[in-house]
Amino acid sequence: MAEPTDPRRPVTRPGTFSRVLTGLAQCLKWLFLSLIFSVLIEWIGMVFWWEEQGLDHSRQMLVNELQFLGADFHRSWLTAHPMQFASDLSDRFYHIAFEWTGIVDLIQWITPAPGLEESGVRPVLHRFYRPVADYVLAGMQITQVFAVRLAILTLATPVFGLFTLVALVDGLVRRDLRRWGGGRESSFVYHYAKKAAIPLIIMAWVLYLALPFSLHPSWIILPFALAFAFAVTITASTFKKYL
């Protein structure tokens, strides 16, 4: 039988460093899940939806993402050369995921057709690799698409900051008008608006990173930035009357 807890015992709360590490781990988890989901969607699409395009679909997606970046991200608050930033991030992803791990060398080794009298492991690996070669290359290209989209989202992050600042000022003004006008406050609305703010940012990142087709980032970032700003406005305006 479990012993009852002592209500007088102080509750141990995680410190700042622990919360930061937990937040970073959660971000990495969602990024990894987005990458896996985008690769799986690409493979499923190669079987059912864009079978005729095949490997060219992921290659065209990479070209389109780079065109979006080159056309609309000439300047950024985070870097003076957005195109170079995205290219370096994509190359770094490719190097760590495929070159550093030896996957590229393995593919180059097993891709050539074995000789008639060749024996050993390579002919066996070639026989298994040949039917899935396009899917492996598509997964590698989708990883590069993921890196470019991650760079675009990083460069677009100040949009959320700008919208948050405007929404916070608007919400605080509404709060003061409600306070001095004797309006009623709702803790229910406050708590739900507060809980909805961060998931909106996560949804914007996950949705754009895992999108199985090319779409201008403004169609994803701006609606979620507006929704996030609306949540911030509601949170600030329904905050309790007295601090």
Query: Looking at residue 181, what DSSP letter applies?
Result: T
Classify each residue of 158-178 as buried b or exposed e, where b means 16 or more C-beta atoms within 10 Å of its C-beta.
Answer: ebbeebbeebbebbeebbeeb
Over 103-169, what HEC string results? HHHHHHHHCCCCCCCCCCHHHHHHHHHHHHHHHHHHHHHHHHHHHHHHHHHHHHHHHHHHHHHHHHH
pLDDT score at 200 = 81
Classify each residue of 83-108 as buried b or exposed e, where b means 16 or more C-beta atoms within 10 Å of its C-beta.
Answer: eebbbebbeebbeebbeeeeeeeeee
Highest mean pLDDT (candidates 3-12, 63-72, 224-233): 224-233
pLDDT score at 179 = 67
| pLDDT tier for residue 189 given thresholds of 50, 70 and 90 | low
Helix, strand, or coil (residue 1): coil
Statement: residue 75 has pLDDT above 60: yes
| pLDDT tier for residue 72 given thresholds of 50, 70 and 90 | low
The span from the CA of 97 to the CA of 90, in Å, is 11
CA distances from 116 to 34, 80, 123 (A): 43, 55, 10
Tell me the mean pLDDT in the region 200-212.
83
The span from the CA of 201 to the CA of 210, in Å, is 14
Give the CA radius of gyration of the chain: 25
The span from the CA of 24 to the CA of 201, in Å, is 15
With contact defined as beta carbons under 8 Å apart, do 193 and 132 qualify? no
Q: Which residue has the higher pLDDT, 15 or 166?
A: 166
CA distances from 199 to 14, 30, 80, 225, 240 (A): 21, 11, 30, 12, 23
pTM of the model: 0.75
pLDDT score at 241 = 52
Highest mean pLDDT (candidates 15-19, 113-117, 228-232): 228-232
pLDDT score at 145 = 87
pLDDT score at 109 = 82
- For 84-110, what is each residue's pLDDT tens digit? 777 777 778 788 888 888 888 888 888
pLDDT score at 1 = 46
pLDDT score at 11 = 54
